[in-house]
Structure 1
Amino acid sequence: MYQKEDSGIIDSAMYEEDGSYYMFLKSEQNPGKIILMVSDDITGPFKRADTFDKSMENVEAGLYEAPTAVKLVDGRWCLFLDFYGASAEGQGYVPFIADNLASGQFVRSDQSFRFPYGFKHGTILTITMEEYERLKCFQKKPSEY
């Protein structure tokens, strides 16, 4: 759906909001960071969201991948980026919050979320409270898989 002319890309994740399509990608170079592409059509053409690039200026290049986002119950969006510069028990996903996808302005929000250990390269799905309580009791470390 999208080919970057000056580098390879991996780990795309696309979301729709208010009739526009937003695709997060890991760019391997120029920059070696997560980028956000926007289109009015699901098949493109896509253009780069410069406001997202500005909001990610302080995020270290070459250490994040696997963007995955979820719309929160209050209408804001949370983008999780896998920080792979740490061990399995270290920091995994790093959360960034935006009022909406169109703004492209995501703010790092580590203090807003607490993970039992470094979740990495996953996805988000809806579960019941019973399933949540059962998962909270699970004690295996990621390096033990």
Structure 2
Amino acid sequence: MFLSLTSCAVVQKQAAQDDVYLFSYFKGNGDGLHLAYSTDGYNWQALKNDSIFLKPTAGNDKLMRDPCIIRGADGRFHMVWTVSWNEKGLGYASSEDLINWSEQQFIPVMAHEPNARNTWAPEITYDEEKKQYMIYWATTITGLYPETQSQEDDAYNHRMYYVTTKDFKDFSDTKLLYEPGFNVIDATIVKDSDRYVMFLKDETREPAEKNLRIAYSQNLTGPYSAAGPPITGDYWAEGPTTLRLGDKWIVYFDKYIEHSMGAVQSTDLKNWEDISDKISFPEGMRHGTIFTVTKAEFEKLQ
């Protein structure tokens, strides 16, 4: 069976008995697409001996960081990723089987903005009502929001931006998605009943926050509420992706200072339990996103 997803970073339903969870990720500075699998959401193992499924060719720096994969309304897998630390666009490719991929494209979503410094951690969410995809990412535009700029972290001062598309060929103009009053990156959005839930990283450096928070909206493109309190603990976290297991929300993330993956769990999106000691991931794994495939599709990947 196909499980249609509304976001590359969330699986909203308990996987059917013959479905397998996949986790797209990268290693090092952005070596390429890796895939791990799980049947329970807690224990993850690398596919193909942790080898690369797709090497990056898009952009000048040809990196592949933060790979986000969604199974689209057309049944194809669509992926976006960070191609560089400082380019004004993102990478895109699609596939029917996660093995054979289309030609990689560089989508210049911030090329119109002369003071844009970067295009980081793009994600995709599908809008079922409008029958279109929203691609969103974090960008620093030099000179904007000086009240939250710090000389730490090389003076990066991000906000979230987006475009929409129906076919990954024609795109809307770039617009501001979220300005929470602080430096924000790594947002991922999932539909929950009649609302949208945004998991995001508070990137504030002085005083240091570096934690994950939640905001809500009635519409995919916003406006979103003020961000709630941190859902992660006394460590620096980034790159959230979430999975629904029965009545539980699990948010996985990268404890990038500790060089390990972590997770928190909740039944109400308010009270969170740290379950980092209950999960296992491939060594050296960096953050990405979760989606599902059928058992038959999974067997072909092996």
TM-score by length of 2: 0.36
**Structure 2 CA distance for partners of 1:118 and 1:106, relative to 1, 3 Å:** farther
- What's the offset of the Cα at 1:32? 3.0
**2: CA distance between counterparts of 1:83 and 1:33?**
10
Among residues 181, 185, 198, which one is paired with 1:10 in the alignment? 185
Which residue number in structure 1 is paired with residue 225 of structure 2?
A: 47
Structure number with higher relative contact order (C-alpha < 8 Å, ≥ 6 residues apart): 2
**Structure 2 CA distance for partners of 1:118 and 1:97, relative to 1, 3 Å:** farther
**1: CA distance between counterparts of 2:273 and 2:295?**
28
Which residue number in structure 1 is paired with residue 291 of structure 2?
A: 125
Among residues 38, 44, 47, which one is paired with 2:216 in the alignment? 38
CA contact (8 A) 2:211 2:231 kept: no
Write the letter of the residue equivalent to 1:27: D
Which residue number in structure 2 is paired with residue 106 of structure 1?
A: 272
- What's the offset of the Cα at 1:44? 2.0
- Residues 1:97 and 2:265 are matched in the alignment: yes
Greater percentage in helix: 1
Write the letter of the residue equivalent to 2:242: A
* Secondary structure, counterpart of 2:200 in structure 1: strand
CA contact (8 A) 2:210 2:238 kept: no
CA contact (8 A) 1:49 1:104 kept: no
CA contact (8 A) 2:266 2:272 kept: yes
Percentage of pairs with the same residue: 25
Greater percentage in strand: 2
- What's the offset of the Cα at 1:10? 1.3
CA contact (8 A) 1:35 1:48 kept: no
CA contact (8 A) 1:26 1:35 kept: yes
* Secondary structure, counterpart of 1:86 in structure 2: coil
Deviations 1:2-49 (A, max 9, x none): 0132x3211110011121111111122173322211122222221235
**2: CA distance between counterparts of 1:36 and 1:75?**
18
- Residues 1:81 and 2:244 are matched in the alignment: no
**Structure 2 CA distance for partners of 1:55 and 1:11, relative to 1, 3 Å:** closer
Deviations 1:98-131 (A, max 9, x none): 114xx33221112332223242121112134573
**1: CA distance between counterparts of 2:283 and 2:240?**
18
- Residues 1:68 and 2:241 are matched in the alignment: yes
Q: Let me know the Cα RMSD of the aligned residues.
A: 2.5
Write the letter of the residue equivalent to 2:193: D
CA contact (8 A) 2:212 2:231 kept: no
Among residues 6, 12, 28, which one is paired with 2:203 in the alignment? 28
Which residue number in structure 1 is paired with residue 34 of structure 2?
A: none
